[in-house]
Structure 1
Amino acid sequence: MSDSVIDLGELRDGSDRNPLPRPPRAHGRPLRCALVVLLALVTLAAAAVPPSRPAPVTLAARSGSDVMIDGDLLLVMEPSNPTQEGRLAAYRLSGGEPIWQVPLSSEARYWGMTSLSGMLLATGYEIGPEGREARTLALDRATGAYRWQQPGTVIELTDGNLLLRSGGETERSSLRVVDPCCGTVRWQLSGISADLNVRGTENGVDRVVLNQLDGPVEVRDAITGAVLARADLRPPDGGPIGLDVMNDLLLAIDRGSGTVTAYGLDRLDRRWTRTRVNVDFALDCGPVLCMRTGNAELQALDRATGEVRWRSGQWGWAWPTDGRLMANVSGAGPLGQYIVLDPLTGRQLADLGRWELYQLGVGGRLVGLRRIPDGGVLVGELDIGAGAVRTVDVLPDATGDCQAITGYLVCSTAAPSSYQLWKLVG
C-alpha cells in the first residue's frame, strides 16, 4: 500500500489547532496551548483497536508550518523570513493533489488561519514604520484569489461578520466589524485606549467589553456596536481593575485591595462583592465560578451570591465539559494529570490519568496521546461525562510531536523531516 506524498515545506512541531484553554496570567486574559498527557498503558492495552484505517498521507516537511483541515481541503501555511517568502497552499485532502498556492510576503509573519463564508483568512503582522502591525488577509477558499486585507487580528461574530482589532495595549487601537466576503465596514471605533474583553459562544462573539484606562467600562453589542451599558468600575483611588467575562456576569478584580465584584454583563448592575481575596486568575466553570488564589488554592463560587461552595489546594485549574469539570492536579509536573469533578461539590468522580490532550474543534472530541514504549502513538478519547477513556487508534509509525486538526492527527515519524496525516477512526 503506497502513501500519498505532499511537500509541505515546514511543519510546526507540537502545535495544536484547537488546544484546550490554559489559565490566564495575573491580568486575567485567557491563553491557549496544548496540554501534555500520558495514560498508563495498562488501562488501555486491553481495549479494542480499530482493525483497519485509511492509509496515512506522508508529508515531507520541516518544523515551522501551520496546518488546517477545512472540509475536503488540507491547507498549509509556510512561514516567511526576511530573505524568503512564505507560502499558503491548498491540497485535496483525500489524495494530496495540489489545488492552488499563493506567496506570502517576506515582510509579513502569519501564524493562523480561519475558514469562513467561502473565505480563507490568514492572520499575522507586517513590519512597518511603527513596528509590528497586525494584518488579516482574505483569500477565496476555492481558488486562493486575493479578496481583501485589513489591519488587525480577527474574531468571528455570531452573525458571521468579523471583528478586527488593530493597535495594542501600549498604543491607541481601533475596532472594526466587517463582512467576510468583501471587507465592507459595518461599524468601527477609533482612538481607543482600552483593554478588550469579549463574550464568546459556540457560534462566535456577541459582546465586546472595553476597559478604558482612564474612563468608564463599556459593554457593546458586537453585532451593531451599540452601547448596552457604561459605568466607572474603578476603585475610589482610581486604580486599575482587571475584567473577566463569565457568561452573563462581568467580574471586576481590584488586586490592589483584594476585592472582586460581579456585575450583570448587559446592565452592569452590581450582584455581589467579595473582599480580602488574592486572585491570581478567574475561570468560568459552568454552574460555578472558579478562582485561583495567590496561596495556590482553587475556589468554586456560587454564581448568584459569590459564596464559596468548595475549595481545594489539589487542583491547579479547571474548565466545564458535559456538566462536569475537568481539572489538573497541582504539582504534577510537565505531564499533567487530569481528573473529573462534580462542579457543585468539588467531589472527585474519576481519574483520567496523564495525557497529551487536544480538543478537535470548539466543543468537540477530547483526544489524548501517549507514546508506546515499543514504538508508535496510542490515541484515546476522553469522555468527561462518563469519566472514562476509550482507545481510538494506534499509529504505528508515529514518534510523537503531533498536531490535532479536526478529524485528523499530524505526527512526526522516524524518517527525517517526515510527518504523516492520520485520519482518526472510531
Structure 2
Amino acid sequence: MTGPVIDLGELRHEPEPDTRPRRPRANGRPLRCALVLLFVLATLVAAGPVSRRAVVPLPARLGANVVVTDDLFLVIDPITPQTPQRRLAAYRLPGGEPVWQVPLPAEGRYWGVTPLAGMLLVTGYEVGSEGRGALTVVLDRATGAYRWQQPGSPVELADGNILFQPGGEDEPGSLRVVDTCCGTVRWQLTTAPGEINYGTAGNAVDRVLLRNADGSFEIRDAATGRVLTRARLRVGGGAYETVQVVDGLLFTVGGTPAMVTAYGLDQLDQRWSTTADGSLYATGCDPVVCLQTRSGRLRAVDPATGRELWSSERWGWVWPVAGRLVATTLSSAGPGAEQLVVLDPPTGRVLADLGRWELAGSDLGGPMIGLRRHPDGGLLVAELDVRAGTVRMLDVLPDANGECQASPGRLLCRRVDGSYGLWRLPD
C-alpha cells in the first residue's frame, strides 16, 4: 500500500535566455516593492510564529500504568525503593491539569481501571500474608476519595450493579454481586476454579453460567442469584475440554471422538453437534462463529446449524468490526505491526487489504487507529475504516514512541523521553 502523494511540482531545466525585448522599468517600482515587503512583514508579525502540532505533555514514569477514561488521564506509579506504596494520580484532559492524587490501600501490581457510575474501579493483585489474590478498590471519580473495596475482579451487570469473580482461572473463591453505591453484598456463592461463564444483554452481563462439582451446569440470574435452569451436559472429557459462552450460545469442545456442541442459554437445550476436527475453542465472529484448531486452521461455522461455511490456514487473530471480520495473517504474526485484511464473514472472501499496522488500544466501538514506524522517526498514524475497506493517513508524530491508546479525536502515546503525550487527531 502506498502512502499519500505530495505534489512537489515539476522539475525543470534552467530557463532559456529570454530574447524578447524587456518592458521599460517604471520609476516607481522600487517604492512599490518596498511597500509590498513591509506589508508582508507586518502580516507575519501580526500572525505570530507558525503553529506547530499541539501536544499536551503528561507526566508518567517508566513502569507506570496509564489509562485514559473520558476526560481523565490516570497514572498508577510503579513501586520503587523510594515509593513502596502505589499512588494513583488523575489529570484533567485535554489540558493535563492535576486533579487529585491518592495512595492505593494495598500492595501488589494494579492492572486495570474501570469507570462506572461516577466511580473508578481500580483492580490489581493484592499481596498479603495469606498469599496473592485479586482486589478491587473503588474511588470517587471527582475527588479520588476511597469508597469501598471487594476481593475479585469486577464485571458490570445489566441492572447497574457489580459482580466480583475470583481473580484467576485457578483461583477458587466466592462469586458475589454487590450494589454500586456502597459495596453491600446482594448475593454470593462459592465456586470451583475456572468454571464461570456469562450471558450478556448488549455489553452487560445478565446471566451467570456455573459448572458444579457434580458435573452439572446451571444458569443463574445475575441480579438475584436465582437458578433459571439446570442440566447435565455430555461434555465427554478427553485430552482437551473447553466450556465457553460465545454470541449467546454455550459451546463445549471435548469427548472421544472430540465434538463441538452448541446449547441454548435459556434451557441448556442442545442446538447442534459436529466433529471437532482439531478445534480447540470458539470465538465470536458475528454473524458467524469461528473455531480455532490446533494446526492454526480457522473454521467459520453457521451458529444456527454448525455447518462449516469456510476454512483457511492463512489467518491468525480474527475479530468482528462493523459487520466485517478483521484478520491478521499468520505470516506476519509477532510483536509490532501485522498485516491486516478485511473478510466477508459468510464466505471468508478478502474484501480489502489494509496493509501492515500496529493497532492502538481503544474501547469497544472506538476508532480503529493504525500505527507504523516512520523511517525518519516517530509514528505514522492512520484511521482504518473497516466497513469501507480504506485507510486514511492522519498524521506523523515525530515525538511518539508507542504504547498508544485511541479515543474519539485523541491519541495518547508514550514519547521518546519516556513521558506521555496527548495529540488531537484531525477530523
- Which of the five TM-score ranges fits, normalised by the shorter chain? 0.7 to 0.9
Q: Which residue of 1 aligns with 2:384?
A: 382
What are the residue-to-residue correspondences of 1:339-358 with 2, within 5 Å?
Answer: 339-358=341-360
Report the more deviating stretch, 385-394 or 217-226: 217-226
Letter aligned with residue 140 of structure 2: D
- Other-structure match for 2:395: 393
Measured at CA, do residues 198 and 55 of structure 1 come closer, stay the same or move farther in structure 2, by a change above 3 Å? Answer: same
Paired residues of 2:238 and 2:258 also in contact (CA < 8 A): no
Q: Name the structure 2 match of 1:3.
A: none
Unaligned runs of 5+ residues in structure 1 are 1-39
- What is the deviation of 1:337? 1.0
SS at match of 1:355: strand
SS, match of residue 331 in structure 1 = helix
Tell me, yes or no, if the aligned pair for 1:167 and 1:174 is still in contact at 8 Å.
no
Look up the match of 2:166.
166
Q: Partner of 2:172: helix, strand, or coil? A: strand
Residue 280 of structure 1 corresponds to 280
Q: Does the 8 Å CA contact 2:259/2:273 hold for their aligned counterparts?
A: yes
Counterpart mapping for 1:238-387 below 5 A: 241-254=241-254, 257-334=257-334, 335-387=337-389
User: Displacement, 1:298?
Assistant: 0.9
Higher strand proportion: 1
Task: Tell me the residue number matched to 2:29.
Answer: none
2:210 is the counterpart of 1:210: yes
CA distance change for structure 1 residues 357 and 152 in 2, over 3 Å: closer, same or farther? Answer: same
Output the CA distance in 1 between the equivalents of 2:173 and 2:265. Answer: 23
Larger helix fraction of residues: 2
For 1:66, the equivalent position in structure 2 comes to 65
CA distance in 2, matches of 1:111, 1:276: 36
Aligned-partner Cα distance in 1 for 2:123–2:170: 20
User: Corresponding residue for 2:56?
Assistant: 57
For residues 102 and 142 of structure 1, do their structure 2 counterparts lie closer, same or farther at Cα, with a shift above 3 Å needed? Answer: same
**3-state SS, counterpart of residue 95 of structure 1:** coil
Aligned twin of 1:226: 226
CA–CA distance in 2 between the matches of 1:244 and 1:78? 36
Aligned 1:138-217 pairs, distance under 5 A? 138-166=138-166, 168-193=168-193, 195-200=195-200, 202-217=202-217
Please tell me the residue identity of whatever aligns with 1:68.
V
Aligned to 1:118: 118
The Cα shift of 1:360 comes to 2.4
| Cα distance, 1:203–1:276 mapped onto 2, change above 3 Å | closer
1:43 aligns with 2:45: no
Q: Could you say if the C-alpha distance between residues 255 and 386 of structure 1 is closer, same or farther in structure 2, counting changes exceeding 3 Å? A: farther
Amino acid at match of 1:178: V
Pick from 413, 419, 425: which aligns with 1:411? 413
Over 3 Å counting, the alpha-carbon distance change for 1:106 and 1:128 in structure 2 is closer
Q: Which is worse superposed, 232-241 or 106-115?
A: 232-241
From the CA coordinates, give the structure whose radius of gyration is larger: 2
Give the distance between the partners of 1:237 and 1:258, measured in 2 at CA: 9
Q: TM-score, normalised by structure 1?
A: 0.82
Q: C-alpha separation between the residues in 1 aligned to 2:60 and 2:71? A: 21
The TM-score with structure 2 as length reference comes to: 0.82
Aligned-residue offset at 1:52: 7.6
Cα distance, 1:395 vs structure 2: 1.6
Deviations 1:171-222 (A, max 9, x none): 5321111122211222211254551112345532222211335421122222
Structure of higher RCO (CA pairs closer than 8 Å, 6+ residues apart): 1
Once the two structures are superposed, residues 214-240 of structure 1 have per-residue CA deviations (whole angstroms, 9 ceiling, x without a partner) of 421122222222222221224456987
Q: 1:312 to 1:194 in 2, by over 3 A?
A: closer
Give the CA deviation at 1:338.
1.1
Alpha-carbon shift at residue 60 of structure 1 (Å):
4.0
User: What is the aligned residue count?
Assistant: 381
C-alpha RMSD over aligned residues: 2.5
